[in-house]
Amino acid sequence: MAIEVGSKLEGKVTGITHFGAFVDLSGGVTGLVHISEIADSYVKDVHEHLKINDMVTVKVINVDKDGKIGLSIRQAVDRPPEQQQQLPPRGPRGGGDRGGRNFRPGGPGRATFEDKVSRFLKDSEERISNLKKSTESKRGGRGGRRS
């Protein structure tokens, strides 16, 4: 049986690690469900969601050239179309974010790029000024204490 991206299959959990679970599909073919693809919510410990010998439905999300098969349990669940749009895309960091912050470009009441740059420059100049005052006082330069 050829394993194709997008197909949904039944499999049995054969191993659990800190980064995901291995699932035996059929005929000795094994794939990996990454921890970010186990559930829609944050998964701290795979053991809280899966046990060895559990039967799971998985969706094939990628097949590498070297034969590694990427699987997803959360994408295998059929949802109504309105719920599918509410789920954020999950990247390597888990959650559609950038550096741990939710990133939503545009939107009402959002600052423009120019506003953000001018705020950054103002804050940066203040910090540099404070840093110069601090270092000059330690060196005995302008504005420093004199004994």
Give, for all 147 residues of the chain, the pLDDT tens digit. Answer: 578 888 899 999 999 999 999 999 987 899 999 999 999 899 999 999 999 999 999 999 999 988 899 999 999 887 766 555 555 555 554 554 445 455 555 555 677 888 888 889 999 999 998 888 888 777 665 555 555
What's the CA gap between 4 and 80, in Å, rounded? 24
User: How far is C-alpha 72 from the chain's CA centre?
Assistant: 15
What's the CA gap between 113 and 2, in Å, rounded? 49
What's the CA gap between 96 and 78, in Å, rounded? 21
Structure tokens at 33: 């469900």
- The number of helices, as runs of H, and strands, as runs of E, in the chain is 2, 7
Structure tokens at 48: 């809280």
Beta carbons of 78 and 40 less than 8 angstroms apart: no
- For 31, other C-beta atoms within 10 Å of its C-beta total 24
- pTM metric for this prediction: 0.54
- For 11, other C-beta atoms within 10 Å of its C-beta total 22
